[in-house]
Amino acid sequence: DGGITQSPKYLFRKEGQNVTLSCEQNLNHDAMYWYRQDPGQGLRLIYYSQIVNDFQKGDIAEGYSVSREKKESFPLTVTSAQKNPTAFYLCASSIDQLGLYTWSNQPQHFGDGTRLSIL
Amino acid sequence: AQTVTQSQPEMSVQEAETVTLSCTYDTSESDYYLFWYKQPPSRQMILVIRQEAYKQQNATENRFSVNFQKAAKSFSLKISDSQLGDAAMYFCAYRSALTGGGADGLTFGKGTHLIIQP
């Protein structure tokens, strides 16, 4: 079955450590996204990528980095510069074809999330 | 920047009855898309329904329907014949259609926790 796989499900970070969250999709979607969810809050956009080797900052990119070397993969690194990393992280993807006006109505499909905590 | 407001942190409804979740948004754009997502305790985000702003007709998906009032910037979700499986967090989300070719993400409200009373 096609879908989005996030791993690990739970992750613990030590002080000063970088950690990487994995996101893989086999939906052949062009665009991929990372969101952060805090208790009592909606999702906030960290980074997004419309095409391989290109990505853009979202609303809360500070302290995070991403790469998009393959269409299927969009890993998120939470760096030591992110002082409050404890949150639930969701990866999403959607069909977004460059040059087509109507792509925005395509829904985003989400993974099951990774919960990151501080040791 | 666009904002999405869900003014009801929590709603409760009796099983088999109807409930309406409210959502308002602020934008200066004329073309955009609106979505309702459901997040059950499993934390997975599930698309419930979507609406294109250029369409006057309200979207409907089985027991779920929306009341889209573009001038009022309102996008409420009506759930008919509520079922126990409808219990979840519900998020309203906005996406611009005019991003200059970029695939911007969704802007979410803070969510409404829906409780279904048996």
Closest CA to A51 of A22, A29, A26: A29
**Residue B40 confidence (pLDDT):** 94
Contact list in A for residue B47 (CB cut-off 8 A) is: 107-109
Q: Give yes or no for B41 touching A (CB within 8 A).
A: no
- Of residues A53 and A30, more confidently modeled: A53
From residue B90, give the alpha-carbon distance in Å to each of A11, A52, A64, B20, B108: 26, 32, 27, 11, 10
What residue ranges of chain B have pLDDT lower than 50?
A: 100-102
Chain B contact probe: residue of A59, A104, A114 with most B CBs at under 10 A: A104
Q: Give yes or no for B10 touching A (CB within 8 A).
A: no
Contact list in B for residue A116 (CB cut-off 8 A) is: none
Least confident of A65-79, A87-101, A104-118, B15-29: A87-101
Mean pLDDT, range A63-78, rounded to an integer? 97
**Residue A94 confidence (pLDDT):** 87
Mean pLDDT, range A70-99, rounded to an integer? 88
Mean pLDDT, range A98-102, rounded to an integer? 48
Q: Give yes or no for A114 touching B (CB within 8 A).
A: no
CB contact under 8 A, B52 and A112: no
**Position A41 confidence tier, pLDDT thresholds 50, 70, 90:** confident
Contact list in B for residue A27 (CB cut-off 8 A) is: none
**Residue B80 confidence (pLDDT):** 98
**Residue A99 confidence (pLDDT):** 46
Greatest CA separation found in chain B? 48
- Of residues B97 and A14, more confidently modeled: A14
**Residue A119 confidence (pLDDT):** 82
Measured in angstroms, the CA of A6 and the nearest CA of chain B are apart by 11
Residues 6-25 of A with CB under 8 A from B: none
User: What does residue B36 show for φ and ψ, rounded to 5 degrees?
Assistant: -115, 130
**Residue A30 confidence (pLDDT):** 86
Measured in angstroms, the CA of A109 and the nearest CA of chain B are apart by 8
**Residue B100 confidence (pLDDT):** 46
**Residue A1 confidence (pLDDT):** 64
User: What does residue A105 show for φ and ψ, rounded to 5 degrees?
Assistant: -85, -5
**Residue B54 confidence (pLDDT):** 87
Q: Write the residue in A56, A88, A94 that is nearest to B102 by C-beta.
A: A56
**Residue B98 confidence (pLDDT):** 67
User: What does residue B85 show for φ and ψ, rounded to 5 degrees?
Assistant: -70, -5
Residues of chain A above pLDDT 90, percent = 66
Least confident of A62-71, A82-91, A101-110: A101-110
Q: Which residues contact B47 (CB under 8 A, 6 or more apart)?
A: A107, A108, A109, B35, B36, B37, B38
Q: Cα(B16)–Cα(A20) distance, rounded to whole angstroms? A: 44
B97, closest residue in chain A (CA to CA): A104
**Residue A101 confidence (pLDDT):** 47
> At residue A45, does pLDDT exceed 60?
yes
